[in-house]
Structure 1
Amino acid sequence: MMATSAVEKIDYWQASILKEMELSRARFTHFAFEKHVHLDYHIGVVSHGGQRYHHRGCEYRLTPGNLSTLNPDESHNGQSIADGGYEALVMSLPTSYVQQVGQALNQGELFFNAPIQDDPWLRNYFIRLHQQLTLYQANISPMEAETLLLGFISELFYRHGKLRNLPSNSAKLSGAQLESIKQQFHSGLDQEFELEQLALTVGLSKFQFLRQFKAATGMTPHAYLKRLRLEYAKKALMRGDSAINTAHGLGFFDQSHFNKAFKQAFLITPAHFQKRVTP
């Protein structure tokens, strides 16, 4: 529960994968936004309390469980619903980036169809993404971060935007191209991969590549690579390699990150696994 004393604070971040994107976490008690507009697409949630605002002659209430989706150049204001104030997480998506997504889908300009979305699943996705791009940015690879971002944007506009279905003649990822990508992963388990570079090798946009790879394998490129690393890790541990050398050789940030991923996948720590499978 938020305190009733006046607390007005905004923390800002810049995501390393998209320098033009602004992220913020705010706590307001009495502060009220006057009518204003944004240059970018603004997406937000409240974690405590609630915000009310006027948009195109109607009043909307953003409460926990909902997602705010505001297009560029749409005037609105904002203030707390109750005296206790509210906390909010906000993401500002540059119009140039959203236009790239639209072009990758052979679409025109993309717009949200309403300023409030009742979508708990997507709200939780947004909170996870916001945390990964702010509080835990140092512990996430660029490919994982961009995979999460593109996945969120695609779901957001398909569920709540003015977007047609993908055309039937959209670019495809061939079987040979898919095998080539997989081989790159097998051969470079200790390397960092970027979506843009992988997409370029098969002549697709990042957005197209992400969708096509997931359609073919049922997994995102990052999830597929992570699983490969864990499978190779099991074999290395069975050979008697140390956990720290295994983590380093397979591209994990550190042993702690490796231990967490291994236990999440196999319900056992690397050390315990090694004890069970080696003499």
Structure 2
Amino acid sequence: MSNWIDLNQDAATGIESVRAHFVGHAYDPHWHDSVLVGVTEQGVQQFNCRRVRHQSTPGQVFMLEPGELHDGHAPTAEGFTYSMLYLDPHWLERELRAVFEQVPAQALPGFADTLSGDPVLAGATLRAFHALHDQELRIVRQTASDDLLAALTRHLHWRKRLHPDPRLPLTAQRARDYLHAHAHQDIGLEELAAACSTDRYRLTRAFKAAYGTAPHAYLIQLRLAQARQWLAQGQTPADVASRLGFADQSHLGRWFRRAYRLTPADYRRRCTKLPD
């Protein structure tokens, strides 16, 4: 069976629903600015995340926080199939604060574990996926989403908002903030290092230790995350490439395909139903 991707987006919440099948190499290391919750349906889904190699088998739920670097690979010949939801973190936090009677002040929701064999969570995830993906009645979609949130609460932990984070090198955090503020610009390592009052070699080592990837790769992921948002809003790939500082549309397309296995035009069409 060849690789395929079926993607839809719920207009009311912005939640993306993706069902996909991959054989062999699925996608390069990348991260999302969404919260990912999905279920492996068939095969073995192997991926590296949080510096650990995971293998998700049928019925297991995988949960990734925004910014968590991960890849994808099928270690067996039949490949793997999964159904997954991309949850907007602002929507999730707002909804969770309605579910929890008491939420710690200045706290963010996170996942204690990347993989879970909880059958209640797996069932709730699949029901929410189908309700959103198949564009059921609004009351059905809302009920399924509420059930998913209730199931997720058993796997959440709240962590304090820390900036800067004392667990990470200050140099790396300064570099990350600079990349976020200048993501559309043609940034050089010397410029980035100067903004952090260090040299390029110390900067790169600190950044890799903190975020698991080099500054240039992080910058590409920043641009791709923004590209997804703008494409989903209906902007053309050419305009998105220009606004984000890619050399041209094909340059954006090469990076986009490596991360998401879709072309920017195809992703835009699936989210907006607009023609290419």
The residue that corresponds to 2:26 in the other structure is 32
Residue 75 of structure 1: how far off its partner (Å): 0.8
Residue 81 of structure 1: how far off its partner (Å): 2.4
| Residue pairs, 1:212-227, within 5 angstroms | none
The residue that corresponds to 2:200 in the other structure is none
SS of equivalent to 2:81? strand
C-alpha distance in 1 between matches for 2:142 and 2:96: 16
User: One-letter code of the match for 1:150?
Assistant: D
Higher relative contact order (CA 8 A, sep 6+): 2
The residue that corresponds to 2:62 in the other structure is 68
Please tell me whether the aligned partners of residues 37 and 73 of structure 1 are also in contact (alpha carbons under 8 angstroms).
yes
The residue that corresponds to 1:129 in the other structure is 128
Residue 90 of structure 1: how far off its partner (Å): 0.9
| Residue pairs, 1:73-222, within 5 angstroms | 73-104=67-98, 105=100, 106-107=102-103, 108-135=107-134, 137=135, 140-156=136-152, 158-163=153-158
C-alpha distance in 2 between matches for 1:16 and 1:95: 16
SS of equivalent to 1:131? helix
Give the number of the structure whose alpha-carbon radius of gyration is greater.
1
C-alpha distance in 2 between matches for 1:9 and 1:42: 19
Stretches of structure 1 that go unaligned for 5 or more consecutive residues are 165-279
C-alpha distance in 1 between matches for 2:97 and 2:126: 27
Residue 163 of structure 1: how far off its partner (Å): 4.9
* RMSD after superposition: 1.7
The residue that corresponds to 1:12 in the other structure is 7
The residue that corresponds to 1:272 in the other structure is none
User: One-letter code of the match for 2:116?
Assistant: Q
Residue 149 of structure 1: how far off its partner (Å): 0.1
User: One-letter code of the match for 1:148?
Assistant: A
Q: Deviation above 6 Å: which 4+ runs of structure 1?
A: none
User: One-letter code of the match for 2:9?
Assistant: Q
TM-score after normalising by structure 1 = 0.52
Please tell me whether the aligned partners of residues 43 and 57 of structure 2 are also in contact (alpha carbons under 8 angstroms).
yes
% identical aligned pairs: 25
Residue 121 of structure 1: how far off its partner (Å): 2.3
1:84-141 Cα deviation digits (max 9, x unpaired): 1111111000011012024333423111111101112221221122112113x2xx32
C-alpha distance in 2 between matches for 1:103 and 1:125: 19
Residue 68 of structure 1: how far off its partner (Å): 0.2
Stretches of structure 2 that go unaligned for 5 or more consecutive residues are 160-276
SS of equivalent to 2:110? coil
Residue 9 of structure 1: how far off its partner (Å): 1.2
